[in-house]
Chain A
Amino acid sequence: MSTLMKRLPKFEYLGPQSLAEVCGMIAGTTRDEVLLLAGGTDAILQMRRRERTPRRVVGLKGVAELDFVRGQDDGGLAFGAMTTLQTLVASPLVGQRHELLQAAAAQIGGNELRNVATVGGNIAGALPCADMSPALMTLGAKIKLVSERGERWLALEEFFPEFGRTLALEDEVLAEISVPKPAANSAGAYLKFHDRHSMDMTIVGVAAFVSWDSESRTFAEIRLAYANGAPTVFRAHRAEALLRGQALSEEGLEAVAETACAESSPRTSWRANGEYRLELIRALTKRAIRQAWEKAVRSKAVTSKETSR
């Protein structure tokens, strides 16, 4: 194992201008041969540590069609894989339709990093500590994979079979992320813990997205997803089920947190012990649900006030 970062390995750099070109360049290649470079905030370090030594690097920066934020006619949201985190943070459209995405993106690094890091890179890197994936999973995001053979859509929550891997085939590129229109009276929260108060590596991240049934005053829907809770980002389906159709209660939150811990399998590393990460999952699950619930209830209040006017 290398002890120090080295110079970048030698590779051929390709700078395609269109998605079709990208697909042509990666068709018939293996992942070891070709590296798709998005923002590079992880990939460059991986290459300098020689964890990846591709023969070719395909830079996606010049592919304009991968960099967009678009409102869908059905009220959903679509954005290209090369959309930078800062673009998400600054987009009024994203703020209107899915504030949770902005909340998650804004907690990643500082301005300099967010200006280069992309949402596609954050997802496709398939690291368990990625902050965008939990938020997107709870919003029911789908991702579009494109190759010369055509395109296909996958639910993001099915995208990560194991640590560091995705279901994308070697000739496929992650092109687009699509998020459906949020349900009425819904809101989300992304809480992550790190040692410092900002600009730090996620030890545990919890995304909670809820919609509130104003009639029965219960959770119409609740979705939970975790960063660093397991070898991959994942949804805690069993925990979610406990609260669906229920009202917010301390006992309910305790039970959800307990089940979320049971569904998690965080690792012990020099950054944090697994035992401690479980404690964080327990605490942050409750907080995130409560925050999302309160926001959802408030959004109802705001909406009805506006309607009555």
Chain B
Amino acid sequence: MSRLLQALLVSLSMVLSAAAAASQQEPQAPQVQVTPKVLAKGLHYPWSMAELPEGGWLVTERPGNLVYLNPQGQRMHIPLDLPDLYATAQAGLFEVLLTPDFEQSRELVLSYSCGTEQANNTCVVKAKLSPPNAAGYALSALQNIFTALPKKEGAAHFGARMTWLGDGSLLVALGDGFVYREQAQNLQNHLGKIVRIRRDGKVPEDNPFTHTQAPEVYSYGHRNVQGLVFDAERNKVWQHEHGPKGGDEINDIVKGGNYGWPMTTFGKDYTGALVSPYNDLPGVKAPLYQWTPSLAPAGLALYQGDLLVSHLAGKRLQRLRLVDGKWHLVAEYLVAQQQRLRAVMVAKDGRVLVLTDSTEGELWSLDLDIQQ
């Protein structure tokens, strides 16, 4: 009994000293006020965007709309038939991503939540976009190329960001479904994983876990991935994911890597409880950057070798630079009319484009032309 009491007292003092250390502020990055140029208004919970080679952008709206915005910001609805779309709370239509050879093939992929409240998960379809004509655009040849399994209950943590690797395969980031967090360590399903598939949905032979029931799995131990980008120059995949209360992470995704959730995390549960006593464990890939408290990153883009991260709760854009293998915050871009920022991309002409997250979402162009 005395050993128990002793251990409890030592633990209490450790917890208190850890709390005191955590309260010490990290050095602040320079904050830059930017004035956005509003390119389009009236977007209903826009989630992602893709720039078309002929000009303008495709934008997904989470309730299930695919819209075309012309360079003047005028919107045009593109009919999209997803009979199994499940749209509520965090669920709905997510990312639109053009194929690497879009100019020739006109093919794109879309991620969305499919199923019902009791049985749903993330799906990916491939489709063909018509060339522009007087009637606008049309999608054809819709084909499911991936369905995350198992189907689970609830409308939380779908991940759904995607990126193409240099070999033409597709990475699809997924979530843990919130209440199934331990499944992120189970290699027999897709919860809390990043999967890699071919453009036709088939499994690449060199995937790391082809012997399992989920041969698409590329990396695991993720909570809710909200940013994914392939850095062709460095041949790296950068990713960010939401922690719970604290512990949002930037990771360097490698084939077969275990990113720890929920065995390791810098975050706590929303109730204040420990999810895990560990920030790090052997065999687990540690994050290259982490946000505590959480800013809820949503959207990731490469910009002049740096990473741009848009934030929902943080309502700002951050720029991070890779120094000695770690990402460091070098600037924060703030807008006077603070908005939740859902996505960021860099246009072909170098402009930084941002989608705001609301019932009246906007597409902004930001001028970051400030030497860092």
Partners in one complex: no
User: B residues near A, CB below 8 A?
Assistant: none
User: A residues near B, CB below 8 A?
Assistant: none
